[in-house]
Amino acid sequence: MLEVTNLSKRFGGLVAVANVDLSVRQGEIRGIIGPNGSGKSTLFNLISSVYKPEPGSRIAFDGEDITGRPPHDIARRGIARTFQLLRIFTQMSVLENLLIGHHSHVRYGVGAAVVGAARVWAEERRLKQEMMDLLGFVGLADYAEMAAGELSIGQRRLLALGRAMAMRPKLLMLDEPAAGLSPVNVDKLLNTVMALQKRFGLTLVIIEHILKVVMESCDTVTVLDHGEKIAEGPPAAIKDDHRVIEAYLGKEMADAEVRAFLKAS
Ligand SMILES: Nc1ncnc2c1ncn2[C@@H]1O[C@H](COP(=O)(O)OP(=O)(O)OP(=O)(O)O)[C@@H](O)[C@H]1O
Ligand SMILES: [Mg+2]
């Protein structure tokens, strides 16, 4: 479904992503891990066309070359993503945040003027119902009319998930969806993600630094270090890969949790 070849991105002298190949099957749950600054978010920013890749890079989706297409075109084709730092409209209601997510994706064409107001209203009603169903799915239906700024961090993460889903994606890319959550809320969020994946037959790519989450939920794990892909395979094999262990343990910044997890395996 997603076929990335020779993907690279430089920022000045820094190579943030270096000749990365990535192939994701339809329906797969793919984990992306790597130390801080290893290029994970940049990879997402390239696929969703927030950044333009270096010449020679190629990104194909559903068999079509989408390299350098504008972001709204990428979204229209069925690729949605969340951001590591949440981008929520705090003054708008929870429901409005979803509707905005949807509208920025599906635009009314000239057809809307021709078919008439009644049909547009009917469509609006149907859409609102769809968004309410989505809010129900992520457990926020009761908060639909509340200003998004009043939500807890856990609820904001769920809203970001709902908003990405409002674009009716085929491929959903989540950048550290559980960052900043308590263990209980991490489990809750992950359960919701997996339920959405099943319900909508999504293909999922998840950047996650909580290794337990990746190891338990992903079919395949891709490991980046200094922008390069250093390992790829099933979670069990990745856990024992010496390059992966070195990439993490070699970093002074590798946190205690990561060390403990890798050493225990
Ligand atoms: N817009 C930018 N301008 C300049 N440098 C950037 C930019 N975006 C990312 N970088 C650099 O590219 C490298 C990769 O960053 P990236 O955010 O992709 O890492 P990451 O793996 O997502 O890290 P983290 O785990 O901390 O989120 C880092 O050195 C970062 O400082
Ligand atoms: Mg990142």
Q: Between β-strands 203-207 and 29-33, what pairing exists: parallel, antiparallel or unpaired?
A: parallel
Cα–Cα nearest to 57, from 65, 44, 67? 67
Measuring from atom 1 of ligand 1, which residue has the nearest CA? 11
149-177 pLDDT, tens digit per residue, is 999 999 999 999 999 999 999 999 999 99
- pLDDT bucket at 115, cuts 50 / 70 / 90: low
Q: In degrees rounded to 5, what are phi and psi of residue 259?
A: -60, -50
The CB of 10 under 6 Å from ligand 1? The reply is no
The CB of 11 under 6 Å from ligand 1? The reply is yes
Give the C-alpha separation, 56 to 19, whole Å: 9
Question: Ligand 1 test: best mutation among 11, 175, 211, 229, most atoms within 8 Å of CB?
Answer: 11
> For 43-70, what is the mean pLDDT?
97
Q: Domains in the chain and their CATH numbers?
A: 2-89+168-264 (3.40.50.300)
> What is the model's pLDDT at position 112?
53
Residue 210: how many CA atoms within 13 Å on its side-chain side?
Answer: 18
The alpha carbon torsion through 5, 9, 15, 18 (nearest 10 deg) reads 0
177-222 pLDDT, tens digit per residue, is 998 899 889 999 999 999 999 999 999 999 998 888 888 899 999 9
220-242 pLDDT, tens digit per residue, is 999 999 999 999 999 989 988 88
Measuring from atom 17 of ligand 1, which residue has the nearest CA? 41
**Nearest ligand to residue 16 Cα:** 1
